[in-house]
Amino acid sequence: MQRLVTACLTLALSTTGIGTAFATEWTLNPERSHLAFVSIKSGNIGEVHQFTKLSGTIDDQGQATIDTKLDSVETLIPIRNERMREILFKTAQFSDATLSAKIDPAAIDALQPGDQIDVVAESSLSLHGETQPLVLKMQAAKLDADSIMVASTAPVVLDAAKFGMDKGVEKLREIAGLESISNAVPVTFVLTFDTQAPAGDGSAAASPAPSPEMLAQYEVYRETIEAMSDEQKEAVAALFGPAR
């Protein structure tokens, strides 16, 4: 009968997620990724800029982290690059912008080469000493067995004032002698990730420790099975074979 209890609990745990882990981890490929933003000046003049140094990962729990080196800003005008680094981003004090987002790892693992899905993810952006929530609307596509691409399907519009950067924007406006520079900054991205082999000796990834809530559910299943009548236990035993 102990074998029956063990088998039933194993089935129950598999449905609640205890002991389940996704082995695939992903590392951003900077050579196949692009992060751009648009500055809008004098009312209706838009210019596209980019950052050239990106890194990031998606771990086996679906936690995505993207890091941008702010001193890699590229506007195609060297003096403007310098002013953005020193006056706007203040890279000597704030060297990085970090985006954190949670996605469904099962949805990514289920993709086959050529498949694509729409993804909406709650996220947060840490920039210039401030952290603000964002909603990312994206499309994820499996390029091949070892690569996925995640691209924005709608621009993420950042408000420079919410990150304490409005004074820097105003200073840039004064230096350039412009009528205005908008605090609204549309951002778009195309990010490519490659698979990352699990660390260690190549054995299967260890299962995460169960939470207290999962352990409580485990106990409920155990008590339910122990409370079964002999007839009920015999019916369940037919699914797993006779107890030994």
Residue 94: CATH number of its domain: 2.40.128.110
* Domain total in the chain: 1
Which residue shows structure tokens 């691409």? 149
What span, in angstroms and rounded, lies between the C-alpha atoms of 51 and 64? 19
Does residue 14 sit within a domain?
no
What span, in angstroms and rounded, lies between the C-alpha atoms of 60 and 119? 17
Dihedral angle at the C-alpha atoms of 168, 171, 175, 177, nearest 10 degrees?
A: 110
User: What's the pLDDT at 3?
Assistant: 47
DSSP code for 181: B
What span, in angstroms and rounded, lies between the C-alpha atoms of 13 and 221? 9
User: What's the pLDDT at 19?
Assistant: 38
Does residue 115 sit within a domain?
yes
User: What's the pLDDT at 89?
Assistant: 98
Polymer length of the chain: 244
- Which of these, 166, 185, 172, lies nearest to 86 by C-alpha position? 172
- Which residues form the domain of 44? 25-196
Mean pLDDT by 10 residues, the chain (244 residues): 47 42 79 97 94 96 97 97 98 98 91 95 97 97 96 97 97 96 97 72 44 60 62 53 43
Does residue 215 sit within a domain?
no
Does residue 127 sit within a domain?
yes
User: What's the pLDDT at 24?
Assistant: 80
